[in-house]
A and B are shown apart, each in its own frame.
Chain A
Amino acid sequence: MKARKESERMEKIKRNGRLGPSSFPRSFAWAEYGPALESISHAKIKPRYDLFIGGKWITPASGKYFDSINPANGRVLAKVAEAGEKDVDNAVLAAQEAFKSWSKTSPQERARLIYAIARVISERSRELAVIETLDNGKPIRETRDIDIPLAARHFFYYAGWADKLEEAFPGVRVSPVGVVGQIIPWNFPLLMAAWKIAPALAAGNTVVLKPAETTSLSALHLAEIIEDVGIPPGVVNIITGFGKTGESLVRHPGINKIAFTGSTEVGRLIRKMTAGSGKKLSLELGGKSPTLVFEDAPLYEAVEGIIDGIFFNQGQVCCAGSRLLLQESIAPKFITLLKERMRKIRIGDPLDKNIDMGAINSSRQLETIGRYVQIGEKEGAVKYQAPLNCPKDGFFFPPTLFTEVETSHTIAREEIFGPVLAAMTFRTKEEAIELANNTFYGLAASVWTKDVAKMIEVARAIKAGTIWGNGANKFDAAAEFGGFKESGFGREGGPVGLWEYVQIEELETGEATHLENKKAISHSFDLNGQIWKTPKMLIGGKQVRSESGRYYKIFSHDEKLIADVPLGSRKDIRDAVEAALKAQPGWSKSTAYLRGQILYRTAEILQSRFAELTQIISAQTGCSDSAAQREVELSLNRILYYAGWTDKYTGNVNPVTQTDFNITYPEPMGVVGLVSPETPSLLALVSKIFPAIASGNAVIAVPSEKFPLAASILIEVLDASDMPSGVVNIVTGKAEELAPVLAEHRAVAGIDFSGTPELAKKIEELSISNMKRTWTHEPKDWESRFAQGRSWMRKYLEFKTVWMTALS
């Protein structure tokens, strides 16, 4: 209340001055800007657009066309073809055909062609900007200064990678994925097409792209450019249509990868549809990105950053800074400045060069925004809308600020995708971080402070793919972009963006080997005078029995009973995840050096159990002594290998076009579930656990169901080592029961699963609970040197890009 009064007082001063309202009787009408309309004469919009398939313009099989509307006046701009299943099929076939030669086209030739696209976009930028503004409703200043130049920039950037893929993936063998299905949203139509197409072509893939139904035109004009510069027919196919068209594309068996940008809701559907299909997937989804303003922030610049953060593109930005977190000590003053700034926003005809905000893209989106604003008011937040003149025709919505918002309010939790800002306060840095992370999204965040140490600490603590230090909504082709948590996975931009468009042999070419037992039988096992051992599970640093008290029997290869092993249950998984969640932050914050030391020490202790491990492996599987010895030897090597990676795997400093200092570096995902194949029981388990923990994750591992005894020894080894409690948790039991619990658990960030294709499909379907990362491929040969490597470190990491303002 006090804060509100203070803010009202300041607003009064601001408006009236000390001398009261009449201190300046003079009129300032002269100081209006007036209109500054961009000419549209150079933009040739056709009355009707067909599908671009196999280098030809094709009428849709159904003969159906739909209207594309200018959201600034509601009038029809053009008719656009609606692609049906048959058309999708044709497009995929064309892309498959083209892939044969395009994937073998020399990298230099591909680079030149991609470069040509960039050049022609730049040359036709005026025209493209106008088309984009007419079709999307966003202001010409944005299409002219951001969308179109940045689209060209992406083609330039990836043209430069096309001939140096080997350098982009040192120590890793890569090949193109094949035919890529790409589905893009309506908020940055041409730019999103560029984000998708440029890296795909650079890596040698062919593409079927579907733009959003409300904004097809710029992608179709891009198709013309692609045709004009001589990209071979079928390399890029553009099909237009609604969600149904997109679904046909996602389901098409000829597609090897889906890249999608859009809502988390649709992302979930796509994840479910592609489960078990083996299609590679990258998803860039929604967000509820926080902006943190500390009391030592450059306040005026922060106000401007918030204007850029939430009102840019009418707030229809996945990484829009829709949650404002203000330090209490400056909140009243800041809200005053912000409201004052909001009064100076110019909303209107998007073709006017002096306009900041244009139209909402569609009447449907306009309704959604209106509905959220009503909910915000109903739930008790206080609404402020600056007195601006919104045009009556077209789909316009005024910039809106909510104060006195609580974390439980709908407008503080759900993505609105409109110019609506929810402001809250915090007292301390710790609380700010906590509030910032109190969301199921993790796309971006802005942090405003002049204290560099605080800036870096907060940037590292926020679970989001992009952090802007003293800035907002900055993008560049050289800087990676993408989400944590339900904001999706995969990165676009930068060298990391290439990963999404290549197959990495080490990770993905293998067939599941899980059910084949090695057959050589050499000798039988007996207790040999030793004491009967009781294998345990490892949860939170304790060796425990199953919560349920159940166990299952393990027989030797010659069918002698050799142990009772705990049969883990849902509750054991629950406990293990809790333990991992507790341990992970500390583990990831400990120095890489320390993590390395602990891993080395673990190998040392494991070595002392060499004979026993060999014995147990051969007893269970019946493999030869030498085979078992080799497995243990390789496992030791693998632990040493990752121990050495802890302090070497790192990121890049990106040469972005802005003056910002820009870095991309890997961060652990958090808590990761690992499900091991049946054999090699020790080597596969070690191959998964150690890269995951080397990079700072905490894990819950489910070892080989049939041959768990090597894991039992590993449990004792870990318990005896300096590994902090909870970093590695091992739950024995049936993968069929345990893996789905991990896949569904919302606090688990990823799951690496080896097992039957049926179960793999189920795991991928269940992963939509929190859009966790899934890995269901495995190496052909776990003993091969390719069953380890840089790409395995990469697997359990996600990249964070941090922008920090600097002068050049």
Chain B
Amino acid sequence: MSTFKNNVSETAGKISRNPVHRLDLDVLRRLQVDATGIYDRVSKIAKTRNPKKERQEIWLKHAVSMIDLTTLEGSDTSHRVRRLCQKALRPLADFPEIQVAAVCVYGNFVSEAKRALEGSAVKVAAVSTAFPHGQVALPLKIQETKALVASGADEIDMVINRGAFLRGDYSRVYDEIAMVREACGEAHLKVILETGELGEIQHVWTASEIAMQAGADFIKTSTGKIGVSATLPVSLVMLNAIEDFYLRTGYRIGHKPAGGIRQAKEALHWLALVKETVGDHWLVPELFRFGASSLLDDIARQIHHIKTGQYESYDYIPKG
């Protein structure tokens, strides 16, 4: 089971990093999505790609290694963040070799998290650009990002300018991402599309493509702060966009569904979705993450059930 340890550092640096590309509006215009087809495909995968028993246990453990364990509440405190970090270091009590990929926090807890995770390979991700709404002037977004990187954030989760996107100002969306990317320096950039606010599924691809052209390392579905968060159909469109971008450029972009993923079964569907689309190579924490908090505990319960045949209670699982 040692393969789970230090997953991140093992292959770090082996994926060539996506640069900022020139904005190509022609590509945007060529992309076509049919919503019904997307829904049908998702339902087919969910019905016919289900690992069982021991296979499922292994899948779930890998799912844990791809979690960005998240707390993004106004009520967060240093203590709360430290407790989350402890959970990140040992997400499954019975399997000490497994750690999550990262913790994801608000900016003012980056140093706290860094300290708590010191010496481990677990990354610290911080939300930036006036998360979750992004409604501040661009210089402030740049400034915020720079400060977060300076305080030690390994990864930056930014939000796109949905207002600009919806009024069709794609170059504005692109510019903001590209500039934040520059501000990130070595820190990896996850671009949150907030797909629940984009109106239609075709827009998900358009926004994905803009983000990738602007140098995103990851494209992420949601902030988790609005009614509609990550869904399999939206992820499917984003994964298709990633494959299409990869076929054109050769760069592998990561994907992070976030918000609303609470059940082990859902995590399995997502892994299958990745496997069936972009393929096995994406099934690593460098290229796939779950943004989640309570998912972890349901996975713990499910693994318990696989191993013992008994159903588990949350009372037996240390709170994160």
A and B interact physically = yes
Give me the interface of A with B, judged by CB distance under 8 Å.
10, 13-14, 17-19, 23-26, 28, 30-36, 141, 145, 296-302, 304-305, 333, 336, 344, 346, 353-356, 450, 470-471, 659-660, 805-807
Minimum C-beta distance from B233 to chain A (A): 10
Minimum C-beta distance from A159 to chain B (A): 27
B37 and A23 contacting across the interface, CB-CB below 8 Å: no
CA distance A10 to B48 in the complex (A): 28
Chain A residues near B33: list those with CB within 8 A: 298, 300-301
Top 10 nearest A-B pairs (CB, nearest first) are A301-B37, A18-B250, A805-B36, A34-B55, A28-B280, A298-B34, A298-B32, A300-B240, A301-B34, A450-B32
Q: Which residue of A lies closest to B37 (CB)?
A: A301
B50 and A354 contacting across the interface, CB-CB below 8 Å: yes
CB of B281 closer than 8 Å to a CB of A: yes
B47 and A336 contacting across the interface, CB-CB below 8 Å: no
B37 and A354 contacting across the interface, CB-CB below 8 Å: no
Known contacts A34-B52, A34-B55; decide if A299 and B276 are in contact (CB<8 Å): no
B37 and A471 contacting across the interface, CB-CB below 8 Å: yes
B59 and A23 contacting across the interface, CB-CB below 8 Å: no
Interface size class of B (residues with CB under 8 A): 35 or more
Cβ proximity bits B30-54 to A, threshold 8 Å, 1 near / 0 not: 1011111111110000011111111
A23 and B240 contacting across the interface, CB-CB below 8 Å: no
Classify the interface of chain A: helix, strand, loop or mixed. Answer: loop
Q: Which residue of B lies closest to A330 (CB)?
A: B30
Chain B residues near A26: list those with CB within 8 A: 10-11, 284
Minimum C-beta distance from A583 to chain B (A): 38
Minimum C-beta distance from A299 to chain B (A): 7
Cβ proximity bits B275-316 to A, threshold 8 Å, 1 near / 0 not: 110011101100000000000000000000000000000000
Q: List 15 A-B contacts (CB under 8 A).
A: A24-B11, A31-B59, A31-B62, A33-B50, A33-B272, A36-B52, A300-B244, A302-B37, A304-B41, A353-B48, A354-B49, A354-B51, A471-B36, A660-B36, A807-B35
Minimum C-beta distance from A453 to chain B (A): 15
CA distance A17 to B11 in the complex (A): 15
**Cβ 8 A contact of A30, one of B11, B30, B62:** B62
CA distance A299 to B248 in the complex (A): 15
A30 and B59 contacting across the interface, CB-CB below 8 Å: yes
Q: Which residue of A lies closest to B29 (CB)?
A: A296
Q: A28-B281, A354-B51, A805-B35 are in contact. List 20 more A-B contacts (CB 8 A).
A: A19-B15, A24-B281, A26-B284, A31-B62, A31-B271, A31-B283, A33-B51, A34-B51, A34-B52, A34-B53, A35-B52, A36-B52, A298-B37, A302-B37, A304-B37, A333-B247, A354-B48, A450-B34, A470-B36, A471-B40
CB of B251 closer than 8 Å to a CB of A: yes
Please report the number of residue pairs spanning A and B whose Cβ atoms sit closer than 8 angstroms: 113
CA distance A17 to B51 in the complex (A): 27
Chain B residues near A355: list those with CB within 8 A: 48
CA distance A33 to B49 in the complex (A): 7
Chain A residues near B53: list those with CB within 8 A: 34
A17 and B52 contacting across the interface, CB-CB below 8 Å: no
Q: Which residue of B lies closest to A297 (CB)?
A: B32
**Cβ 8 A contact of B55, one of A32, A333, A336, A807:** A32
Chain A residues near B281: list those with CB within 8 A: 17, 24, 28
**Cβ 8 A contact of A13, one of B16, B52, B246, B275:** B246
**Cβ 8 A contact of A296, one of B32, B50, B52, B280:** B32
A145 and B47 contacting across the interface, CB-CB below 8 Å: yes
CA distance A470 to B244 in the complex (A): 20
Chain B residues near A145: list those with CB within 8 A: 47
Chain A residues near B280: list those with CB within 8 A: 28, 31
CA distance A450 to B16 in the complex (A): 35
Interface centre among B16, B32, B284 (most CB of A within 10 A): B32
B11 and A13 contacting across the interface, CB-CB below 8 Å: no
CA distance A32 to B50 in the complex (A): 10
Minimum C-beta distance from A19 to chain B (A): 6
CB of B25 closer than 8 Å to a CB of A: no
Known contacts A31-B271, A36-B52, A470-B34; decide if A17 and B284 are in contact (CB<8 Å): no
Minimum C-beta distance from A764 to chain B (A): 43
Chain A residues near B39: list those with CB within 8 A: 659, 807
Chain A residues near B114: list those with CB within 8 A: none
CA distance A83 to B240 in the complex (A): 54
Known contacts A23-B15, A26-B284; decide if A805 and B10 are in contact (CB<8 Å): no
